[in-house]
Chains A and B, each alone.
Chain A
């Protein structure tokens, strides 16, 4: 597990870099946070000089960037990400409310993407070079070039507007209406899965093709195992390293996609929180969400590495 420790060490600077960079960028944005908080949209008043100074002090905005980052970091490690400038809700509380929503969306989309990619990838690999395989590849390339919001819009149009099977937006609490909750997630999850599965399928296909050349597949055949059994019990696992790596690498893309999808389908997840907070210039909230996303990214990367060891005992030994 020395390898894993090294990897963790590697990811720590990544985390600091991301949080500091976002801190700096938010600071560089035009406009004044104090204005954003104190100004009244109706009257145009921007508050008294004393009130502005007091707020500036309270928010530590009078201190240099690096000091503010250090202060924020100090609070962060104690689990305090500050309070929203706009709603005064603690950032952590807002995150806790929204994490389950985003998580459900991501998990559903990943399950759908994997459920589409594995059978199609294996089929395509097994029939490598055939007309069907080439057809599938062409289709996958087509899908790959579709932007996520276009895919989402098409699904909304077909399944929500034309067929009326599923809601086009909104979110229902699972505890109140479980089926309604799942129904609301189907289209957004399907949209995310659609843009993700073609690459997954393609890498699996390539690895299945090379695995099927292996002697141990010939041995499995010579034992009289069925094709189905050989593909799923002998070929799938050794063919899934790139697949799993890609699942991990795509987490970044998945997060971006989630932000877009939550906005498109009005789903109150972490992504929508981020976009809404940017709209209202709620800097501390934006910073908190970005930090959270960075942590998720780092943890998922480590989990993917652990998964290698489960998939291939040889990795476990090397590690």
Chain B
């Protein structure tokens, strides 16, 4: 047995900040986020629109603008190395090879003027140093492996020739091309029909198991979290407000925001694209975040303390379930889905 239980995880984010210096002020898009992810596991990140999920993922893979408007702080430890301290040249080696990404909207994430084959092979040729002919063969295999028919013919087609679901499969093939250890999927199915959603998520899971790849699955949808993730992080206004195993979260949410998300979760009977807008009120303006609990304005349990002091992330004894709330929900029985 390995006695080193604290061996470094695949990814460990420590007190990460990403602020945007805008003409109207500093936007606190990611505000002190910490979490860890073990090899081969799936971490869900869930939260409303604007909570900082995309900014967090783009910070991890370091693709935000480098013009001085983005202020970063904290650590992104990948296999023990702090990516935030890496020079751009070394960081480029990480992107695509170690960490790859799938974006929300396959209509805009593929280059419209580049053939699909080229968009896959450029990873193989530029990053893996494969010769052109071999890269083509490999691209066909990749296209096949993500379930697109007539793989060989697809190489010469442009994204516009494919449906949204097919495009997202191509995007996944691109991400898999570099055989990454971590795949960040930023709402990979939000732009797709429900029937296609399940296919894409199943595909991701199959690939993950086959390749023993870790996945960060970003979503609005707690239903997806419940079905596809091992652990989960709930984000609100740039911060983590609750984090634990998925099972635990579904069974015993402690943070009122998580509860609100659950109550507003779309029913399976709802038409596709029903958005999570059922929580009354608006998230706080990230340019002027309140000093107390950021959910206080909308929280049905809020008391005076909530708007003056920010609750720190804490956990109960004998539990790794962490949450930030002065008045956590009582542990109750399972919330039916």
Contacts and interface: CB of A to CB of B under 8 A. Distances in A.
Interface of A: 127-130, 214-216, 218-226, 229, 233-234, 237-238, 311-314, 317
Given A215-B105, A216-B110, A238-B113, A223 B95 contact: yes
Name which of A218, A229, A233, A237 has the most chain B CB atoms within 10 A of its CB: A218
Name which of A215, A223, A311 has the most chain B CB atoms within 10 A of its CB: A223
B67 A130 contact: yes
A251 B28 CA distance: 50
A295 B58 CA distance: 53
B36 interface: no
B127 to A, nearest CB: 5
Interface size band for B: 20 to 34
Contacts of A234: 111, 114
Given A215-B105, A215-B108, A229-B126, A221 B113 contact: no
A220 B126 CA distance: 12
A221 B112 contact: no
B112 A238 contact: yes
Contacts of A225: 92, 96, 122, 126
Nearest to A217: B111
Nearest to A216: B111
- Interface majority SS (helix, strand, loop, mixed), chain A: helix
Interface of B: 58, 61, 63, 67, 92-97, 99-101, 103-105, 108-114, 122-123, 126-127, 158, 160, 171, 174, 178
Contacts of A226: 92
Nearest to B184: A222
Contacts of A128: 67
Contacts of B97: 224
B67 A216 contact: no
Contact of B63 (A127, A221, A314): A221
A311 B113 contact: yes
Contacts of A317: 160
A153 to B, nearest CB: 40
12 contacts: A215-B104, A216-B110, A219-B109, A223-B95, A223-B96, A223-B122, A223-B127, A224-B95, A224-B126, A225-B122, A313-B112, A317-B160
Nearest to A314: B160
Given A129-B67, A317-B160, A215 B103 contact: yes
A220 B171 CA distance: 11
| Pairs of residues from A and B, 3 with the lowest C-beta to C-beta distance, nearest first | A224-B96, A224-B95, A222-B101
Contacts of A312: 112-113
A105 B40 CA distance: 63
A216 B112 contact: yes
B113 A222 contact: no
